[in-house]
Amino acid sequence: MSDISIRYQTGEPQNLEKRFAARAAEMLPSEIRSLFAVASRPEIVSLAGGMPNLSALPMEMMAEVIKELILTNGSEALQYGSGQGHPKLREQICDVMALEGIRANPDDVVITTGSQQALDLISRIFIDPGDVVLVEAPSYVGALGTFRQYEASVVHVEMDNDGLVPDSLRAAIKSVRATGRKIKFLYLIPNYQNPTGVCLPADRRTEILSICRAEEIFVVEDNPYGLLGFDKPSPNAMRAEDSENVIYLGSFSKTIAPGLRVGWALVPQSLKDKLVISSESSILCPSNFTQLTISSYLADQPWRDQIASFCELYKVRRDAMLESLEQHFPAEAKWTKPGGGFYVWVNLPAEIDTKALMPKAIVAKVAYVPGSAFYADGLGSWSMRLSYCHPTPERIREGVKALGGVIKQEMSRRGTALT
Amino acid sequence: MSDISIRYQTGEPQNLEKRFAARAAEMLPSEIRSLFAVASRPEIVSLAGGMPNLSALPMEMMAEVIKELILTNGSEALQYGSGQGHPKLREQICDVMALEGIRANPDDVVITTGSQQALDLISRIFIDPGDVVLVEAPSYVGALGTFRQYEASVVHVEMDNDGLVPDSLRAAIKSVRATGRKIKFLYLIPNYQNPTGVCLPADRRTEILSICRAEEIFVVEDNPYGLLGFDKPSPNAMRAEDSENVIYLGSFSKTIAPGLRVGWALVPQSLKDKLVISSESSILCPSNFTQLTISSYLADQPWRDQIASFCELYKVRRDAMLESLEQHFPAEAKWTKPGGGFYVWVNLPAEIDTKALMPKAIVAKVAYVPGSAFYADGLGSWSMRLSYCHPTPERIREGVKALGGVIKQEMSRRGTALT
């Protein structure tokens, strides 16, 4: 083990910071970064992370798939590949997307290092400093960070238990344009949204698409959880209804495994070349090895059954969380009832500052993500995201119980409890 | 097989281009992009690509390494990992760099999706539109593309057969600063440079470092080929001499396999956090799966012997290329004599336009990269890069012979031949 205190300095210290580009000022650690170090201690029940639960993935089968891949096609799997992504996997991705009503051409698919990279590239292509990006309130912390690095101005649009509210979208567009700023796109997660877990119904999808088309704002539809519906399938993807004004982002991180880092963007034809060129400039090409691992898996293994196993596993955990929230959280708390995905969003009385509460939760051996992490504008202070994806149902119950106790104590300390 | 002519349009065509950011104008296909499609036809001897030759890589061993990894540590390998990269691999990377005189701390290593991603992130952190980046003349096409996307102004600095010329560097700095522009960094490939194959001697490394320190310009040392010296080891890395003013980029693409997409940056301590944050924004985290594949390989396999096998394989090909150039190229042509790496750089009489010559070469069943691809300023029209890394020695001889014929014919057509 190297001693990380030794730095072996061989030159004069330089002030590199004064040479940074203007955008570097926006490269700030997210609120949840330091949290994860604490939350990953084994004695803490982490309701913080969004790591998929790989216990349902048959490792022996994965090992065989990959061994076969190297033995039969190693010289391709280990070589540089196409900047756009492997043609065979792009075809298979079209089959996966067909499950959500999308009819697509493999030539319009660009494979990326996780869908995060697609978000990065789309930001790079579209965002000039000061441009507005519309997002749900709250929204995915990783997207907020990327938009910030491209110096976008992020404007949140109200959600309710059915997701983004169309009238609020109309109002936001009007109000942003009244200030003379340019709106580049609407970013949203229609299925089992991160962080709220809510699902946008079909009629709202149609209405939002119609608003965006009329206003010449394109839609970035981020859909990592779409196949993880527990009770019924999710509505068709927005991309199914509009191939021209929607950029669709998909990922195998939640349906196969995130360690492979394979995601994709399905884009209107006119965007494809720019996206490929900017991806080549960013990473040269995505990994043939991880792409072909997924391609072999999709070709030879019962992947739909495997997704069904994941759904079963997450459903049990969702039920454990909702039940124990009923049991242990105060009556004043409200939370979402997700039909799929990984997350529950809890609103507490406004006096409770969930960020300030974290140290007490850690003492009680439970971790969550404070709501403010999911807002670019400082809101969310009385909310929290709870993930049920990773711990066992028993640990979830234990964690929710402990957290309920911490919250009740804080409420009684502040005199906000009803009783 | 999907019919790629079918596009399944479901909405009104939109003009996305008019919404592009300013930087999108710089997202242009490189000159060699269309070339590679042609060069990859089996009947063409491709002296164009820089694909490493994986025939020396024992696939059965690789398959076993990876199978074992999944069976023993699959739940980590297939999960999300650290944004900075896996701690164990970062330690092993320090051992690899020690072979070139670098003493480093694993905490200062950031693992990236190939070293291309490191180039992208460094550009993002440092380059404001209009900033100057100094590069060798000629330089790596992928770096030029990335600098262009960040709207840098690329200024080439003269090279000779010993690499970058220190006096030319002094002159370039002076002349750029006379125009009031900011120089952000010097990008160079000291070992077996792409595209010229030349190696910068130790005394020039010291002199260049001293110039850059005095002028407050930091050095980006890109070193994918350093361990591929055929005749003697390459000089110590520039980073070995100055840990504070050098950002070092390394890669396993040429010493193990590019399909894994694992590279790294070793940076001054003050830069690390920004680099990790910007990488997380770009890809969330590098693939645990490919990182741990490399980690297992380094831990359990004779990787130094494997690099020696690669060197032997490439040396035979270099010799075949240099011999056949002597035999078949006109007396007026001059070329470099690489001591390692993948490439020979050929200068022809100035009347020969190597880009215009390509179709004739393709007819003669040989491909190369025209020299202008490696210049941001339109120079290089009478030069070409020839790669010896991938074809067999027989195919190299065949290709060089055919190309020599095409060049001689062109010279005689233009009356530029001596005879």
**B387 neighbors B366 (Cβ within 8 angstroms):** no
Q: Which phi and psi angles does B330 have, rounded to 5°?
A: -65, 155
Closest Cα in chain B to A9? B243
Ranges under pLDDT 50 in chain A: 1-2, 419
Assign B355 to helix, strand or coil. helix
Interface probe for B, chosen from A209, A282, A288, A313 (most Cβ of B below 10 Å), is A282
Which positions 329-348 of A are in contact with B (Cβ < 8 Å)? Answer: none
CB contact under 8 A, A285 and B261: yes
Write out the H or E segment, with its range, that includes residue A200.
none
Which positions 165-194 of A are in contact with B (Cβ < 8 Å)? Answer: 184
**CA of A196 vs chain B CAs: smallest distance (Å):** 20
Per-residue pLDDT averaged across B55-71, rounded? 95
Q: CB contact, 8 Å: A13 with chain B? A: yes
pLDDT (tens digit per residue) in B252-287: 999 999 999 999 999 999 999 999 999 999 999 999
Which chain B residues touch A94 with a CB distance below 8 Å?
2
Give the CB-side neighbour count of residue B203, counting CA atoms within 13 A. Answer: 1
Q: CB contact, 8 Å: A108 with chain B? A: yes
> What is the predicted pLDDT for the residue at B3?
52
**CA of A338 vs chain B CAs: smallest distance (Å):** 23
**CA of A3 vs chain B CAs: smallest distance (Å):** 8
What distance lies between CA A186 and its chain's CA centroid? Answer: 15
Render the burial of A300-334: b for 16+ CB within 10 Å, e for the rest: ebebeebbeebbebbbebbebbbebbeebbbebbe
**B263 neighbors B251 (Cβ within 8 angstroms):** yes
pLDDT (tens digit per residue) in A248-277: 999 999 999 999 999 999 999 999 999 999
CATH level 3 topology of B59-300: Aspartate Aminotransferase; domain 2 (3.40.640)
CB contact under 8 A, A274 and B64: no
CB nearest to B80's CB, from A20, A259, A287:
A259
CA torsion A86→A91→A96→A98, rounded to 10°? 150
Spell out the residues 6+ positions from residue B223 whose beta carbon is closer than 8 angstroms to its own: B100, B189, B190, B191, B237, B248, B249, B250, B251
> What is the predicted pLDDT for the residue at A414?
86
CA distance B115 to B97: 14
CB contact under 8 A, B80 and A258: yes
> What is the predicted pLDDT for the residue at A9?
82
Spell out the residues 6+ positions from residue A297 whose beta carbon is closer than 8 angstroms to its own: A62, A65, A256, A303
Inter-CA distances, B310 with B54, B154, B343, Å: 8, 34, 15
Closest Cα in chain A to B23? A125
Interface probe for A, chosen from B3, B15, B16, B208 (most Cβ of A below 10 Å), is B16
Sheet with A343-347, strands from edge to edge, namely A334-335, A343-347, A383-387, A369-370
Interface probe for B, chosen from A283, A297, A301, A342 (most Cβ of B below 10 Å), is A283
> What is the predicted pLDDT for the residue at A376?
95
Assign B180 to helix, strand or coil. coil
CB contact under 8 A, B8 and A103: yes
Residue B330 has pLDDT above 60, yes or no: yes
Which chain B residues touch A125 with a CB distance below 8 Å?
20-21, 24, 27
Burial label, A204 (beta-carbon count in 10 A; 0-12, 13-18, 19+): buried
CB nearest to A8's CB, from B75, B104, B128:
B104
pTM for the model stands at 0.96
Interface probe for A, chosen from B282, B293, B389 (most Cβ of A below 10 Å), is B282
Interface probe for A, chosen from B69, B109, B289 (most Cβ of A below 10 Å), is B289
Domain with CATH 3.40.640.10 in chain A: 59-300
Homologous superfamily, domain A23-52+305-414: Aspartate Aminotransferase, domain 1 (3.90.1150.10)
CA distance A378 to A48: 19
Per-residue pLDDT averaged across B106-120, rounded? 97
Q: CB contact, 8 Å: A79 with chain B? A: yes
Residue B33 has pLDDT above 50, yes or no: yes
Which positions 196-255 of A are in contact with B (Cβ < 8 Å)? Answer: 209, 213, 216, 218, 240-246, 253
| Average pLDDT, rounded, for chain B | 94
CB nearest to A11's CB, from B128, B245, B258:
B245
Sheet with A218-222, strands from edge to edge, namely A109-113, A262-266, A246-251, A218-222, A183-188, A132-137, A153-160, A163-164
pLDDT (tens digit per residue) in A47-92: 998 899 999 899 999 999 999 999 999 999 999 999 999 999 999 9
Domain with CATH 3.90.1150.10 in chain B: 27-50+305-414
> What is the predicted pLDDT for the residue at B2?
47
CA distance B152 to A310: 47
Alpha helices in A78-160 (DSSP H): 87-98, 114-126, 141-149
Which numeric CATH code is attached to B27-50+305-414? Answer: 3.90.1150.10
Burial label, B327 (beta-carbon count in 10 A; 0-12, 13-18, 19+): exposed
Which positions 253-292 of A are in contact with B (Cβ < 8 Å)? Answer: 253, 257-261, 268-271, 273-274, 277-278, 280-290
State whether ipTM is beyond 0.85.
yes
Domain with CATH 3.90.1150.10 in chain A: 23-52+305-414
CA distance B419 to B414: 12
Q: CB contact, 8 Å: B101 with chain A? A: no
Q: CB contact, 8 Å: B128 with chain A? A: yes
Query: Residue B205: which of B246, B173, B233 has the closest Cα?
Result: B246
End-to-end, the C-alpha distance of chain B in Å comes to 55
**CA of A335 vs chain B CAs: smallest distance (Å):** 27
CB contact under 8 A, B71 and A57: no
CB contact under 8 A, B260 and A19: no
Q: CB contact, 8 Å: A60 with chain B? A: yes
List residues bridging with A347 in a β-sheet.
A334, A383
Hey, how many other C-beta atoms are within 10 angstroms of the C-beta on B193? 26
> What is the predicted pLDDT for the residue at B51?
93
Interface A–B counts its CB contacts (< 8 A) at 326
**CA of B171 vs chain A CAs: smallest distance (Å):** 21
CB contact under 8 A, A280 and B94: no
Q: CB contact, 8 Å: B59 with chain A? A: yes
